[in-house]
A and B are shown apart, each in its own frame.
Chain A
Amino acid sequence: MTERSDLELIEAFRQGEESAFNEIVLRYQEKIYWVARRFLSNHADADDIVQEVFIRAYERIQEFRSESGLYTWLYRIAVNASLNALRRQKVREFFHLDSLLEVEDTGGESPDRALEKDEHRRLIDEAIQRLPEKQKAVFVMRYVDDLSYEEISEILKTSVGGLKANYFHALRKIEEYVRRAHES
C-alpha cells in the first residue's frame, strides 16, 4: 500500500479519521523530539515538548494552511514551545527550585555510563544553554536542523542579515566557552 502524503493525512484527519493523526505522530515524532532536545538538552523536557506539540497540532489542525508544509508547521510549534519552556526554566531558576526539581537524566544510559559522560558534550551543552534565546534558536535551526536562512527568517521573523549575525555570535560564544573551560 502506498504511503499517504502529509496533505492526504491532514485531510483524512479533518474528515474524522483518527488513525490519520496517529500516522502524523509516528511520522514526525522523532524529528520533533530532536528539535526540542537541542533546545532543552535533557530528555524529560524534550519529551514534554513532543507531547505538547502533537496535542496542539491535534487541537489546531484546522489552523494548518497547506502553503507551508506539515513539518514546517510542526517545527514552528516545537520551536515556540521550546522557547516558552526555556522562559519557564528561567523563572524556576530564579526561585532557586532547580535543586528540588533536578532529576538525574541519564538519557537511557546506564548510571555508570552516564557518569562517564563525554566531557566535550557536557561543555558544548553548557555553552549552548548559556546562549541568549535568539542566538540559541538560530544556532539550533541553522547548525543542527540545517534550515535555510529564509526558513529561519519566516519562523523567527528576523532579517537574514540579523540571523547571520546571531549565528556568528552563537558560534563564537560556544567556541570561547569551550576553549576557556579547556584552558582552566
Chain B
Amino acid sequence: MCAVHTNHEYYQLQLPDSVTGRLEEQQRLELEAHLASCDECNRRRAEFSTLVALMQHSRPSDPPSHYFSNVLPRIRERLEQRSTRGESPLVSRILAPLGALAVVIGLLVQIPMDKDNDLRAMLGALKSDELADVVVEEAEHQSLYLIPSTESLAAALSDQAIDRELAAAILLDGDDATFESVTDLSDQDVNLILERLGERKIL
C-alpha cells in the first residue's frame, strides 16, 4: 500500500511532471485528490499547462541546411590539425604565459574597482584552462597582444604547456608553486593569482 502524502510542497513538486504527462498512475491519483482541495496548486497547474502548450509551439529554429553534413569533415580537420601541430618551445613555454598574463592584467586594469569582487567570484568559478580560453578569446578583441600572434598563443595554450618555474615566477611572484600546467591550478591558486593581479592593478 502506498503512503498518502499530506505535504503541500510534495504535491507542488509533482506539478511539472503532471502537466507533461510523466506521473505514474498512483502519483497522478494522489495529486488529483490533493488538487480537489488546494487552490494554489490548481492555479499553478493551470499556469504550467499554459506554458507547456506555448513551449510546444515554440521550438528553436533549425540549424542551417547541410549543417549536419559538414560536422564530421570539420571535426576531422581539427583532429588533423591537433595531431600535426608542431610545438614551439619558445611560444609554448615562455611567450604564451607572458602573453596570457599581459592580457589578464590588461583586462583587469579596465575594470572599475567596485566590480572586483564580482570578477573574482566569476573567475574563481572557472577552471584554469577555461580561464586561459577566455583570455585568449578576449585577446582577439582587446588588441593587447604582446606575442607574435594570437593564433600561436591559442595553439600554445590549448597544448596547456606552461613552464612551472616561469609561471610561478610571473604569476605568483616567486612563491613555491607546484603546478605543472594551467590545468593543474587549484581554485586556491586561481584566487591567489587574482589577488596578485589585483595588487598589480592598484599599483
Which A residues are within 8 Å of any B CB, using their own CB?
A: 22, 25-26, 29-30, 33, 37-38, 41, 43, 46-47, 50-51, 54-55, 58, 84, 87-88, 90-92, 94-95, 97, 100-101, 106-109, 117-118, 120-121, 124-125, 142-143, 161, 164-165, 167-168, 171-172, 174-175, 178-179
Contact = CB atoms under 8 A, between A and B. Distances in A.
Interface of B: 12-17, 20, 44, 47-48, 50-51, 54-55, 57-65, 67-68, 71-72, 74-76, 78-79, 82, 107, 110-111, 115, 118-119, 122-123, 125-127, 130, 133-134, 137-138, 141
A82 B177 CA distance: 31
B72 A22 contact: yes
B60 A38 contact: yes
Contacts of B65: 108
Given A55-B78, A94-B115, A175-B47, A84 B60 contact: no
Nearest to A164: B13
A90 B122 contact: yes
26 contacts: A26-B72, A37-B60, A43-B61, A43-B67, A51-B71, A54-B75, A84-B127, A91-B123, A92-B134, A94-B115, A95-B110, A95-B138, A97-B138, A107-B60, A107-B62, A108-B61, A108-B64, A109-B61, A117-B61, A120-B57, A124-B54, A124-B55, A164-B14, A171-B51, A175-B48, A178-B51
B28 to A, nearest CB: 15
A87 B134 CA distance: 10
Specify the main secondary structure of chain B where it touches its partner. helix
B195 to A, nearest CB: 18
A100 to B, nearest CB: 5
Contacts of B13: 161, 164-165, 167-168
Contacts of A118: 58
B111 to A, nearest CB: 8
Contacts of A124: 54-55, 58
Given A43-B63, A58-B79, A175 B122 contact: no
Contacts of B74: 51
Contacts of A91: 122-123, 126, 134
Contact of A121 (B12, B17, B60, B67): B60
Nearest to A165: B13
Contacts of A172: 44
Contacts of A50: 71
A124 B64 CA distance: 21
Nearest to A127: B51
Given A118-B58, A171-B16, A33 B63 contact: yes
Given A101-B141, A165-B13, A171-B48, A51 B133 contact: no
Nearest to B131: A91
A34 B144 CA distance: 36
The 9 closest A-B pairs by CB, nearest first: A108-B64, A107-B61, A121-B58, A164-B13, A175-B51, A120-B58, A29-B71, A171-B16, A25-B72
Nearest to A179: B47
A107 B64 CA distance: 6
Nearest to B57: A120
